[in-house]
Amino acid sequence: MERDARHDLQTDPWGHLAGELDAWTTGATGAATFWWRDDDAVADGPKLQRLLTLATNAPLALAVIPARLDSSLAAALGATSAPVSVLQHGFAHLNHAPRGQRLGAWELGLHRGEAAVLDDLVTGREILEGAIDKFLPVITPPWNRIDTQLYAALPGLGYRGVTAFGPREVAQPVAGLTLNHAHCDPVNWKKGGLFTGEAKAIGQIVAHLTARRSGDADAAEATGLLTHHRDMDAGAWAFTARLIDTLQAHPAARIAAAPELFP
């Protein structure tokens, strides 16, 4: 644990991350794979352009809300040379769970019946497929919540993956459907979208990497950064840019593109 003593997470978070990545260099675990997902895209604008500029440095999986898709987003994605894949962020990002029962918000729960949810997903998929040629049939559930009972029907509808939040428990819950979640969210939603701070965000990344190395988490699941371009403050943007640069510069780290994670 000498490494941790020299690069304490609280006082030297970037050194702490470098120490963890160094452990992947010397270990027998192979590359420390990462990936990058950004949620809630609907339209072009200065924030989306800022995101796409950053994405010229690393492959980006952009989760788009089909029912709110503005034609300006399709145009922006058609024009960019950044390596972007488009995922399906639910259908309309609406909560269908009953209120007042502390259930949280669910669009992809079973509160309105499975058929209604699957119909929405197929409709949304047709919208995205028709508008954007960078579409990958992977579902990003709004609020990172999906009832796992829906998994069985998804491959038959043409989906090959689901991405929510937290270490995956299995790689393939049903044949033909791969999970790869996100593990770091640098936005503090309880504080109105402020940056969580470097120590908290890097702590989430290092926790997942350490769990992968030790066998406490699936070593083959790429560690995911989840950003929200519409909501991030200056601190979260700066963190995202520095993280991408740090990972691209470290010999043990590799940022994978979404098509590789959802075969």
Stretch that binds Zn ion, among 37-45, 154-162, 199-207, 232-240 (CB under 5 A): 37-45
Tell me the CB-side half-sphere exposure of residue 5, using CA atoms within 13 A.
2
Contact between 38 and Zn ion (CB under 5 A)? no
Given a contact cutoff of 8 angstroms between Cβ atoms, the answer to whether 228 and 31 are in contact is no
Amino acid identity of residue 195, one-letter, is: F
Find the binder of Zn ion among 39, 44, 107, 120 (CB under 5 A). Answer: 39
Stretch that binds Zn ion, among 139-147, 186-194, 232-240, 253-261 (CB under 5 A): 139-147
Nearest distance in Å: CB 40, Zn ion? 4
Nearest distance in Å: CB 3, Zn ion? 36
Nearest distance in Å: CB 247, Zn ion? 24
Partners of 179 in beta bridges: 162
* 74-79 long-range Cβ contacts below 8 angstroms, 24+ apart: 74/131, 74/132, 75/44, 76/44, 76/48, 76/49, 76/52, 77/132, 77/134, 78/132, 78/133
Stretch that binds Zn ion, among 17-25, 34-42, 50-58, 162-170 (CB under 5 A): 34-42
Q: In a 3-state reduction of DSSP, which class is residue 64?
A: strand
- Residue whose CB is less far from Zn ion, 41 or 252: 41
